[in-house]
Amino acid sequence: MSKLKLLSVILKTSGMSKVLSSFLVFFFISTIIIWLVDPNVNSFFDAVWFSFAVVTTIGFGDIVVTNLFARITAIILAVYGILVIAIITGVIVYYISEILKIKGSKGASEFLYDLYNLDKLSQEELKELSASIKKTHSDQ
């Protein structure tokens, strides 16, 4: 299994693709709200810059929101961003560990992928899968 296919399987099975897409939508909605509501944010780019600083917890301080609704939006965006970054970190660690497993033997994600697509495997691939299962069972 290629690294890109492995990443795709991990993103789908972990639900990370949905998390990332919903986060991006929320990020831009929050950015638009902050831009429209707060008088200190002069342009859409300033709102994107502020939202980026909030999500990454950098907090440059060059743009400060003063409107209560903008501050509440920024708080929610910060919490959501921290959670998403933590999840991304976990997915990256899992991806790297799967790559290391594949170098030594077949990884769990690839094995699950093969089982899910059992009806699409060739006779040769089925024999390899069977041998892999027998080897794993005999090792325990």
Distance of CA 58 to the CA centre of its chain: 20
39 vs 27: CA distance, rounded Å? 19
- Residue 100: burial class (beta carbons within 10 Å; 0-12, 13-18, 19+): exposed
pTM: 0.66
- What is the per-residue burial (b if ≥16 Cβ within 10 Å, else e) of 28-42? eebbebbbebbeebe
pLDDT in tens, 115-126: 888 888 889 988
Q: What are phi and psi of 114, to 5 degrees?
A: -60, -45
What domains lie within the chain, and their CATH numbers?
3-103 (1.10.287.70), 105-140 (no CATH)
pLDDT in tens, 6-60: 788 888 888 888 999 999 999 999 999 999 999 999 999 999 999 999 999 898 8
